[in-house]
Structure 1
Amino acid sequence: MNQQQDQLATLHEIRSIMDRSSRFISLSGLSGVAAGVSALIGAAVVKWYLVAHQINYRQDAGLNLTREAILYIVSVAALVFILALCSAAYFTARNARKSKHRVWDSKTERMLVNLFIPLAAGGIFCAILLYHDLLYLVAPVMLIFYGCALLNASKYTLSDIRYLGLCEITIGLLASFFVSYGLVAWTVGFGLLHIVYGTLVYFKYER
């Protein structure tokens, strides 16, 4: 009986080693927290702009925004995306050095390729929606494509990202029906969920 248990333990260890060797495991939970905080700040800035210009997003559903307002919101979203990328790169590189892993290798490349293909498709689709003045669908589409990107990349990194992706898709689909809550959905999806996910991953793998 003990011999059988030892064999099972050995098989489990071998499987764990093989899994780590085929996945990018240096992704830091702190990068998720930083991305979430950046999104919350971005949402607060957008909300301040809408209030200052007496625009009620819940009532207008993004239909009556001026070109200036659209440009402002898109600029804030782009800045949040850049900040999230920079924080992810910084904390992930720091975590890799701490764990004595390489930051860039074939695993990193596979993960990024599978992440950015759905992101690029979603970005292009959002630009098409803006071109056709369908701004109220941009927030849901961003959440849905981002969730798909996380699901696609989860095969090559921490499996926990899969659950974050499913949550993002769910919120995006709900926001597609309740379009007047697009900003709220964006705040929850990119802000709160990232903070919760990042905190859980940090305490699970990095403490």
Structure 2
Amino acid sequence: MKDTHQEDLMHIRSMMERSSRFISLSGLSGIFAGTFALIGSVYVYYLFEKRGIAYFDSKEVSYSLDFIMELAFIGGSILVLGLVSGIFFTYRKSKKLNIPIWTNTTKKLIINLILPLTVGGVFCVALLYHNLLALIAPSTLLFYGLALINAEKYTFSDIKYLGFCEIILGCVSLFYLGKGLIFWGIGFGVLHILYGLIMFKKYK
């Protein structure tokens, strides 16, 4: 009888979790997003070298508008690839768990993610407009971390730890302006891969 009660409680808990939290998020999406970010970081470094810019020198360098637009295009491409892979693996996991992907919880999760990211996006555009390029990488890390923490209550609670790591990394990078590519690669690349591996192992 005791075992039956425990099974019933576990079943009720599972049903409540499914209704209140978005649990279709796949660790594989984090791994792929991180991989894309690392590849993008390496490619951007190659572009610096190709243009004769010694990235690791402490000298201030002014970038042409076409180069800035090229960097923005690469960043946008990485974002799109990350989103596509996230949607694909999330859809696949929801099918496997036989749970709907589009629910009120999903809407709340997206809203809580989009709000800080939208504000951060506007802020970064303003930095670009005022030619404060060195602050863009730290800002993306900070606002992304805030977005993850803000959305934590609607998905796996583990995501807040990734958010805290992104914020800490963003704060540190504020004191090393001009080296944003390194911190960007660590934050969106290495941390995403590590988080994805942990999530995949924990919730597979």
For Structure 1 versus Structure 2, the TM-score category normalised by the shorter chain is over 0.9
Report if the CA contact (8 A) 1:31-1:92 is conserved: yes
Residue by residue, what CA displacement relative to the aligned partner does 1:166-199 show, whole Å, maximum 9, x if unpaired? 0001101100111132110000000000000001
Q: Tell me which protein shows more helix as a share of its residues.
A: 1
1:103 aligned residue: 101
Equivalent of 1:159 in 157, 160, 185: 157
Distance 1:55 1:43 in 2: 15
Distance 1:59 1:68 in 2: 22
- Per the normalisation by structure 1, the TM-score is 0.91
Relative distance call for 1:12 and 1:99 in structure 2 (3 A) is closer
Residue by residue, what CA displacement relative to the aligned partner does 1:124-158 show, whole Å, maximum 9, x if unpaired? 10000000000000000000000001011111001
Report if the CA contact (8 A) 2:49-2:55 is conserved: no
Q: Which shifted more, 66-75 or 191-200?
A: 66-75
Equivalent of 2:196 in 195, 198, 204: 198
Distance 1:99 1:13 in 2: 14
> Percent same amino acid among aligned pairs?
44
1:128 aligned residue: 126
Relative distance call for 1:61 and 1:180 in structure 2 (3 A) is farther
- Counterpart of 1:40 in 2: which secondary structure? helix
Distance 2:102 2:71 in 1: 33
Distance 2:171 2:195 in 1: 20
Q: Which runs of 5+ in 1 are unaligned?
A: none
The reply on whether 1:59 has 2:57 as its aligned counterpart is yes
2:114 aligned residue: 116
Computed over aligned residues only, the root mean square deviation of the Cα atoms, in angstroms, reads 2.1
Relative distance call for 1:71 and 1:181 in structure 2 (3 A) is same
Report if the CA contact (8 A) 1:63-1:134 is conserved: no
- Counterpart of 1:57 in 2: which secondary structure? coil
The alignment covers a number of residue pairs equal to 204
Query: What are the within-5 Å matches in structure 2 for residues 1-207 of structure 1?
Result: 14-59=12-57, 63-206=61-204
Report if the CA contact (8 A) 1:139-1:182 is conserved: yes
